[in-house]
Amino acid sequence: MISSLPLLPPFLPLLIGALAAIFLRGHLRSAVMLLTPIWGALQLAALEPGLYWAFEFLGYQLEPVRVDKLSLMFGYLFHLAAFIAVVYALHLKDTVQHVSGLSYAASAVGAVFAGDLLTLFVCWELLALTSVFLIWARRTDRAYSAGMRYIVIKVLSGVLLLAGAIIVINETGSAKFSDIGLGHEGLLNVGAWLIFVAFGIKCAFPFAHTWLTDSYPEATPTGTIFLASFTTKVAVYALARGFAGTELLVWIGVTMACFPIFYAVIENDLRRVLAYSMINQIGFMVVGVGIGTSLALNGAVAHAFNDVIFKGLLMMTMGAVLHMTGKINGSELGGLYKTMPKTTILCIVGAASISAFPLFSGFVSKSMIMSAAIEQGYDYVWLALLFAAAGVFHHAGIKIPYFAFFAHDSGIRTTEPPKNMLIAMTIAATLCVVIGTFPAQTVYALLPWQVSYQPYDLTHILTQLQLLFFSALAFVWLNKQSMYPPELPSTNLDSDWLYRKLAPGFLVPLYYSIIESMARVESMAKSGIKRLIDSSYDEAKEQPKGYFAQLWPTETMVFWVALLLAGILLLYYI
């Protein structure tokens, strides 16, 4: 049953704020940008579950706004993330970042409320087009190149989604975006796999993840906060909506949770460390979606909710460091706790949250996924996730605050970042503690599926504390023995080596070889034509020579024309 039309569709307040930011300046622009996410959240609170603005297009029912508990949870999350990011960006005077940030958030909200595949595709592409400007806004050659690679991969994802959607709509007769699944027959299976791969690219599946680690660290300090909040979480939402219970996702998610650890440990750029950490955390969510039980799905979406906040907090602290020092490599930082003590404390809160310390937000959601894995008999998956949890404590829980604020004294003396940045980080840090301490009254109250879960039992607490204690002990021992990978000025490549090193090394010489071959062929053709012309012209008499250069009588030409016409008529009637 279609509910009564709301005042505005969920994405429109954010889009109006983005348009207003084009024309407004100063404090008025800041006020409008701050009020926009609040206005949008109030709109969501007034919505009842149901379909809004449904209409028929080319014989198919389109549902641009579908409201249920799953879409509402992500809708509230994205408005909260947009508000924190706007507060963090208030000191900027950059219209490009303000407009693209709010329009990017509007695209994300539109995607999670899309009830049909065509609306989802439109929002999917808008996510790419609006977000790339947050990378280019840094205005460096590296940012431009990373943005170009980013947009190419995102457009590829959109093309795959559109192709898959067309096939699915044609085969099923419905454009509705609901459970799709894999394992169909015929052309429908091709369409389902195309959509699955499209979602996987934006979710940073293994070998399709390099757009994230390549582009996010090159964005502006404020742009990275927006980027870390929306694209991958929309992809997690899409998987939960369309492919819940697909077992393949369990093994993909485990791989995502484990492999980034090895790259993050050796990475020097601390924002790139957090980018790898993001893939690690998304891996937990993907495992939850793949298991597909109510507990696992609740754990996946709860962890997505918490990850936006604590990962955003860590990104904000590193953005503050970059903003104040102009540096972000661990080899160039250290000792900043002396002049940035507030930022240091806020970073430690984010580190404790992502490491799933009890009483912090990561603990109450990550444990749900691991409990679901044990309940469904995925013992080896549970062990792998345990390893991944220890790894994230190493590279995000310890490495980030240690090398940025402690370790060796770099000699850098600066001040705390602007007050608006500190306020945004404080909001996120407070939420990390409140959610971790009172999960039932906060994130659990928004969960889409009915399930009873208590994170604070003796087994969970002791298991996690032991894991964290021995991980910290391992870090200290490795550091004391000089066995921990040092922070070196370098750029690490993983699977992007294929298109950033191997492909140019192979394709560039091939390109020049083809160009040279074409030039030689062209030169030979020109020489042949010139010889032909020279052989058919008598320079002494200054006139053409040869059989075809003779003057022919008119009656001979008429004869040949009549003969050709007769041949054409004969062929036509045959």
pLDDT tier, 1 (very low <50, low <70, confident <90, very high otherwise): very low
Contact, 363 vs 291, CB < 8 A?
no
432, burial (CB in 10 Å: exposed 0-12, middle 13-18, buried 19+):
buried
Domain map (residue ranges) of the chain: 1-242, 244-490, 501-573
pLDDT value at 95 more than 70: yes
- State percent of the chain over pLDDT 70: 92
Contacts of 358 (CB under 8 A, 6+ apart): 436, 456, 461, 464, 465
User: At residue 109, what is the residue type?
Assistant: V
For residue 62, the cross-strand partners are 55
Name the nearest CA neighbour of 203 among 172, 157, 163, 269.
157
Q: Tell me: pLDDT of 5 over 50.
A: no
Q: Cα 285 to the chain's mean position, in Å?
A: 15
The yes-or-no verdict on residue 24 having pLDDT over 60 is: yes
How far apart CA 162 and CA 120 sit, in angstroms, is 9
- What mean pLDDT do residues 206-228 have? 93
- Supply the pLDDT for residue 458: 87
Higher pLDDT, 57 or 288: 288
Q: Report how far residue 217's alpha carbon sits from residue 224's, in angstroms, rounded to the nearest whole number.
A: 7
Gyration radius (Cα) of the chain, Å: 30
Amino acid 288: pLDDT = 96
Longest dimension (CA), the chain: 112
Given a cut of 70, whether residue 437 has pLDDT beyond it is yes
Instruction: Return the structure tokens found at 261.
Output: 């650890």
Half-sphere exposure of 424 (CA within 13 A, CB side): 31
**Beta bridge partners of residue 50, listed in sequence order:** 67
206-to-192, 256, 326, 387 alpha-carbon distances in Å: 19, 6, 31, 18
Q: Which residues sit opposite 2 in a β-bridge?
A: 51
Residue 56 confidence (pLDDT) above 70: yes
Q: What is the mean pLDDT of residues 163-186?
A: 92
Query: What is the residue-wise DSSP string for 71-123?
Result: HHHHHHHHHHHHHHHHHHTTT---HHHHHHHHHHHHHHHHHHT--BHHHHHHH
Tokens of 338: 């002396």
How far apart, in whole angstroms, are the C-alpha atoms of residue 18 and residue 502? 41
3-state secondary structure of 529: helix
Q: Is the Cβ–Cβ distance between 312 and 228 less than 8 Å?
A: yes
In the chain, count H helices and then E strands. 22, 6
Whether the per-residue pLDDT at 532 is higher than 90: the answer is no
Q: What is the β-pairing status of strands 50-52 and 543-544?
A: unpaired
Angle at 96 between CA 90 and CA 99, to 5 degrees: 70
Stated as kind and residue range, the H or E segment containing 383 is helix 379-392
User: Does the pLDDT at position 488 exceed 80?
Assistant: no
Alpha-carbon distance of 574 to 15, in angstroms, equals: 67
For 62-68, what is the mean pLDDT?
Answer: 93
In this prediction, residue 381 carries a pLDDT of: 94
Dist CA 396 CA 310 (whole Å): 11
User: Average pLDDT over the chain, rounded to whole?
Assistant: 89
What percentage of the chain's residues is helix, strand, coil (to nearest 5)?
Answer: 70, 5, 25
Partnered with residue 61 across adjacent β-strands are 56
User: What confidence score (pLDDT) does residue 448 get?
Assistant: 94
**pLDDT exceeds cutoff 70 at 391:** yes
Secondary structure string (H, E, C) spanning 124-144: HHHHHHHHHHHHHCCCCHHHH
Model confidence at 496: pLDDT above 80: no
pLDDT, average across residues 219-238: 95
**For 288-326, what is each residue's pLDDT tens digit?**
999 999 999 999 999 999 999 999 999 999 999 999 999
Q: Tokens 């096939």: give the residue.
A: 167
Residues in a beta bridge with 537: 544
Coil, helix or strand at residue 67: strand
Alpha carbons 72 and 448: distance in angstroms, whole number: 9
Q: What integer pLDDT is reported at residue 60 of this predicted model?
A: 87
Question: What is the predicted pLDDT for the residue at 499?
Answer: 62
* pLDDT band for position 2 (cuts 50, 70, 90): very low
At residue 3, the pLDDT reads: 46
Question: What backbone phi and psi angles, to 5 degrees, belong to 149?
Answer: -65, -40
The pair of three-digit structure tokens given for residue 73, joined into one six-digit string: 């949870």
Q: What is the pLDDT of residue 419?
A: 95
pLDDT at 92: 92
Average pLDDT of the segment spanning 85-106: 95
Least trusted range by pLDDT, from 229-233, 351-355, 475-479, 491-495: 491-495
